[in-house]
Amino acid sequence: MKVLIVERSRLQQTVLSRIFSGEGGIVSLAHNYENALQRLAEEKFDIVCTAWQLEQHNNGIELARAIRKIPEYLEIPILLIASTGKNLSTHDAYNAGITEIFDRGSYEHLSNKIQSLLKRRVCTINAHILYIEDSKTAAALTMRDLKEANVTFDHYYSADAAYMAYKENHEDYDMVITDVVLEGQLDGLGFVRAMREITPENYKMPVLAVSGLDDTSRRVELLRSGANDYIVKPYVKEELLVRVKNLIMTKHLFNQVETQQEQLYKQAMQDHLTGLHNRHAMETFLPKLCSAAIRHKKPIGILFFDIDHFKEVNDEHGHVIGDDVLALMGDIILKNFRAEDFSARYGGEEFIVVLYDTSYEQTKTIAEKFRQKIEDTNFSDLNITISIGVLGTFVQYDTDIHELFNLADSLLYEAKESGRNKICSRDLTLLNVETIN
């Protein structure tokens, strides 16, 4: 980035040069108005940083006014360094084309401000864009400008063809840029409306509409139809880059928030040690499972189980081994039950599994097979067994699921009392099947 510093004072020249070089700028110096304009004519600069006070007749504001008259310097930032307390009219400064005014008072402040300004100007976008434009010239210019910022394109001349491509591959794109006036069945607005409806996810795809006509009603209509932003042709490169960058950054931030929310949700619902749902998740998911069972008149099965003599595992082998056993138990549960079933760590070494659309007999068979599986599994050379309380039932809208768990718990207690490593079961399906039908 080439920077022209316009400054009389040697000391200030050194200070400013240091700041800009520190940020990777290639610095040239000019000491007055004439000298600055001469330097700007000799080579193209990316930033001009000028002192307000230059000489008697011409100051930094006059210089800005002169620079803005040169077509190739319409968009570059012109920074004005002024001392506070002097009667500088900021209004005049901005009108003359100054981009930002800095106080020369504090070196550190100035350095920070310039640093963040330069950071904002580094424009690498790294995005893949679906681009619809029927004018070859407009397309060539836009793509040239954006390619410099690392953007890649799929370019279509018609919205109809673009729609087909988008429908197939919308996951590939970071954003859409579309011309508004287009031949074919779909114009730009039609395309935006249609693409938004492919899946709900597509409401998040940023769309920049490009229009050759700039009137208020058209702009409002564009935004109403689902475009996130618009730009009027012919546009300057800087404005295009900034709008594209902003849209893509907003999308990235949105995605980040979504991922964080998913993680938080997972953390709130998941037991860390076993990877199973925790008790909190039961309150969310079990009512759903029960409602489905009621609607479809399906029986459910409940397995309530507890590791036998787990205290001895901890006492003899330590808590870490105890934790390993619990984690492996979590893996086995996750692998052995279906996605439509619900499983959770109920407490310390107690687990619950609710089987959807499973008769009492099936539930008993599944419970017995599971008990056997645990007995047969090698838990780091430990013999681990479980006792299970088993229930089969139909649920109704007024069923209290916690009462069912209490009942399953008392069956588990029975299994423990009568020797452990076994199941104890009860069939409630016959009891409440009449009220169901």
Binding site for ligand GH3 (CB under 6 A): 273, 306-311, 314, 319, 322-323, 326, 348-349, 416, 420
Instruction: Please state the closest distance from residue 326 (CB atom) to ligand GH3, in A.
Output: 6
- The answer to whether 323 touches 330, Cβ cutoff 8 Å, is no
- Closer residue to Mg ion in complex, CB, 388/391: 388
The smaller minimum CB distance to Mg ion, of residues 98 and 388, is found at: 388
| 187 contacts Mg ion (rule: CB under 5 A) | no
323 backbone dihedrals φ, ψ, rounded to 5° = -65, -40
Strand order from edge to edge, sheet including 175-179: 152-156, 128-132, 175-179, 207-211, 229-232
Q: From the CB of 401, what's the least distance to ligand GH3, in Å?
A: 23
Residue 401 CA to residue 407 CA, distance in Å, equals: 10
* Smallest distance from ligand GH3 to CB 210, Å: 59
Candidate list 23, 62, 92, 134; residue touching Mg ion; CB under 5 A:
134
Instruction: Count the neighbouring beta carbons within 10 Å of the beta carbon of residue 391.
Output: 25
Binding partner of residue 323 among ligand GH3, Mg ion, none, CB under 5 to 8 Å per kind?
Answer: ligand GH3
Q: How far is the CB of 335 from ligand GH3 (least distance, A)?
A: 21
Active-site annotation holder among 349, 361, 368, 403: 349
Report the partner that residue 179 touches, choosing among Mg ion, ligand GH3, none (CB closer than 5 to 8 A by kind). Answer: Mg ion
Query: Is residue 310 at the binding interface for Mg ion, with CB under 5 A as the rule?
Result: yes
Strands (E), 71-170: 78-82, 100-103, 128-132, 152-156
Nearer to Mg ion, 241 or 415 (CB): 415
- Number of residues near Mg ion (by CB under 5 A): 7
Question: Can you say whether residue 126 is alpha, beta or left, with left for phi > 0 and alpha for psi between -120 and 50 degrees?
Answer: left
Number of Cβ atoms within 10 Å of the Cβ of 364: 21
Q: Which does 134 bind (CB under 5 to 8 A by kind): Mg ion, ligand GH3, none?
A: Mg ion
Nearer to Mg ion, 27 or 325 (CB): 325
Is residue 160 a contact residue for Mg ion (CB under 5 A)?
Answer: no
Q: Which does 271 bind (CB under 5 to 8 A by kind): Mg ion, ligand GH3, none?
A: none
Nearer to Mg ion, 303 or 307 (CB): 307
Helix (H, G, I), strand (E, B) or coil at 132: strand
Q: What is the dihedral of CA 162, 166, 220, 145, to 10 degrees?
A: -70
197 binds, among ligand GH3, Mg ion, none (CB under 5 to 8 A by kind): none
Binding of Mg ion by 409 (CB under 5 A): no
Give dist(CA 102, CA 163) in Å, integer: 48
Least distance to ligand GH3 from the beta carbon of 286, Å? 22
**In angstroms, how far is CA 192 from the centroid of its own chain?**
22
Name which of 64 and 195 has its Cβ closer to Mg ion.
Answer: 195
Report the C-alpha gap between 44 and 219 in whole angstroms.
Answer: 35
Which residue, 55 or 323, is less far from ligand GH3 as judged by CB?
323
Which of ligand GH3, Mg ion, none does 141 bind, CB closer than 5 to 8 A by kind?
none
Shortest CA distance to 352 belongs to which of 384, 306, 420? 306
Residue 416: name its binding partner from Mg ion, ligand GH3, none (Cβ under 5 to 8 Å by kind): ligand GH3
CB of 132 to Mg ion, least distance (A): 9
Report, in Å, the least distance between residue 408 CB and ligand GH3. Answer: 15
Own/partner contacts of 399-408, CB < 8 Å, gap of 24 or more, are 399/290, 401/286, 401/287, 401/290, 404/302, 405/302, 405/304, 405/352, 408/302, 408/303, 408/304, 408/352
Catalytic site includes residue 349:
yes
Report the C-alpha gap between 414 and 131 in whole angstroms: 69
In which element (H, E) is residue 360 found?
A: helix 360-376
- Which residues are 50's β-sheet partners? 6, 80
CB 54 within 8 A of CB 63: yes
| Residues taking part in catalysis | 349
Binding residues vs Mg ion (CB under 5 A): 134, 179, 181, 306-307, 310, 349
